[in-house]
Amino acid sequence: MKIKRYSVILAAGATLLALLASCSSVDVKPGGQNSPFGIGGQLSAEDPGALIEQGKLTEAAMLYLTIASRASSPQRQDIQLKAIDLLTKDKHFEIADNLLSELNLSELNTHQTTFYSYLSAKVAINARNPKKSQQLLSYVKSEDYSSFASKADILRLSIATYELGSDPKSAILERIALESEIPSEDEILLNQQAIIRGLLTLDSTILQNIVQTEPDSIVRAWIDLSLLVKNSKNPFRLGDQLKAWKEQNPQHPIRQLLIASLAPQLEDEPPKLENIALLLPLSGNFSGPATAIRDGFLANYYAQINVGNTPTVRIYDTGKTDSNILTIYQKAIDNGANIVVGPLKKQAINEIALNANHNVPTLVLNQLDDPDFYSKNFYQFSLSPEDEAVQIAQRAWLDGHNRAAIIFPDGRWGKRVSKAFQDEWEKLGGETVTETDYQSKKNDFSAPIKSLLAIDKSTQRQRDLSKLLRTRLKFEARRRQDIDFVFMAAFPKQARLIPPQLKFFHAAKIPIYATSHSFSGRINRKKDRDLDSVIIGDMPWTLSKAKNDNYKTQIYRTWPNESRKFNRLYAFGTDAYNILHYLNWLRANKQSRLQGTTGELRMNEYNQVMRKLSWAVFNRGKPSLLPATAALNN
């Protein structure tokens, strides 16, 4: 046991020394009676307190560990815990974890045990283990932690634990409690934004139950506010309700900037949408998708025809090629269009972006290859598969996974989606342990799956050993054991075939994550039964029940065949019309969110409309909604 302990301490020390190699040197001399620590050590240059003030937390931790090595109990443990605390603050969690594992818990007093539990909870949440963190924190909260952590520190850690553990209700209540503990105005605003965003993810029934049982008037007011926003179908009509809510709750701490993000102000109102030009390739190879977008757009247009001033919509066929797109774009403006929607094809939007004068607001229905392109009147809205892959990586990371396997179809689409996922996954800190592509036109994916799971290598080892021993060996192929989950890029036909073949090769317990493309968008329990346990990110349109949505039901009845093939594009067209009314608001306030049929919509600094996916897991051939997780990059 001592050998193991010393080896871990030496390994941690070596790592610390490597970290310090590029830092200012610290000279520690043993002996001396005038040590600032009173334990017989003398620092010739700096002491930990001075290093901490300079922000050199790792150097200070190294000094503390050196000093602790010459101290006796209980002072030794006090100093060790302080060093580990500094390492967690400097985000060296692996080293901190190693050092915590070497502490003898039987030697710790009550206060030290509390400090140890707090540090262990920090390490656990960094390792995305919310269950362990919550158990440790429950002990810390019951003891005196005031000497090493503030109430705000405990609340922040508790919030991270609940959010990572998919318990948004508890996280929100902790955030409301945090309000009085944070002095920074910027942090208060960020915290309030997280409160309202979290409340909007909760079901209205849960919110009503909180209102009925919660004694705190501030909490009840937050719930009332979220219900106002959730029940509002038109943010422009929400302003008066928010004003009335504020008058009823004059002492509520909500910031005006947050209220502005919930409903447009007068200055955010769009110019009158008198003439809308809709540019789509209604002839040629893209005619099917373009027609679905057009019909979804017009269905929303006609649904709002009695709401107020109804604009005129002129539709322009951009044709089979994009050679004349600039002429069509200018013609629409010459005909009086004060806002343009489209075009759809990438080549066409590149032409509009680079070679047109954006004198009128233009919402293109695809995404430029240049992510940094910006023009004040140029907006991008798309159903980007790359954006979905990025959110899949974020979801898997927040679910606590570390090592990914990727399987994707051959061709440009598969490579794009795989790369987007892998780039985000590795940026988060995840590891891609294996990846393989498959031929999408085939039905048998056993060869790429064997390669993905390294079963082919296991089989080859058996053959080599049999050949060496000159005998037949009893053998059962084994898959590699270092995969936490599989990211599957696939369309419905392939997505229904890959999971059962993964199960056949002993990977039944490995979670599978997929983009919306793996699901047709219409419930078919018989065809989708092999998708059971697959987790997908998709739009609310496909994950909500049609019988609860009169608008969607009407579209399904009007276009029964087309809506099966181009289901999501009807939702895309619907949102393309609706978002026109909120372009100024979303652009002026980056915290604004619009609840759309394709997802929760916001706008980034490049005027790109971003979608936040909903999440579901297949159960008996049907997707069942999952709780939201804490958001990344949102």
Please report, rounded to a whole number, the percentage of residues in the chain having pLDDT higher than 70. 86
In whole angstroms, what is the distance from residue 450 CA to residue 429 CA?
26
Percent of the chain's residues with pLDDT above 90: 64
Q: Computed over its alpha carbons, how large is the radius of gyration of the chain?
A: 29
Of 307, 293, 356, 352, nearest in space to 566 by CA: 293
Residue 28 banded pLDDT, cuts 50, 70, 90 = very low
How would you classify the pairing of strands 485-488 and 512-514? parallel
Band of residue 454 on the pLDDT scale cut at 50, 70, 90: confident
Q: Structure pTM?
A: 0.81
Residues in a beta bridge with 276: 313, 339
**Can you give the pLDDT at residue 595?**
86
Question: Looking at residue 14, what is its pLDDT?
Answer: 53
- Tell the residue number behind the tokens 């590891």, with chain if given: 431
Domains annotated for the chain, with CATH where assigned, are: 2-178 (1.25.40.10), 184-263 (no CATH), 275-382+567-609 (3.40.50.2300), 386-539+613-625 (3.40.50.2300)
DSSP class of residue 122? H
Q: What is the pLDDT of residues 47-102, one digit of tens each?
A: 888 899 889 999 999 999 999 989 999 999 999 999 999 999 999 999 999 999 99
d(CA 630, CA 627) in angstroms, rounded, equals 10
Question: What is the per-residue DSSP string for 532-595?
Answer: TTEEEEE-HHHHS-GGG-HHHHHHHHHSHHHHHHSHHHHHHHHHHHHGGGGHHHHHH-TT--EE
Residue showing tokens 């695809």: 366
Q: Tell me the pLDDT tens digit for each residue of 190-245.
A: 999 999 988 888 888 888 888 888 888 999 999 999 999 888 777 777 888 898 99
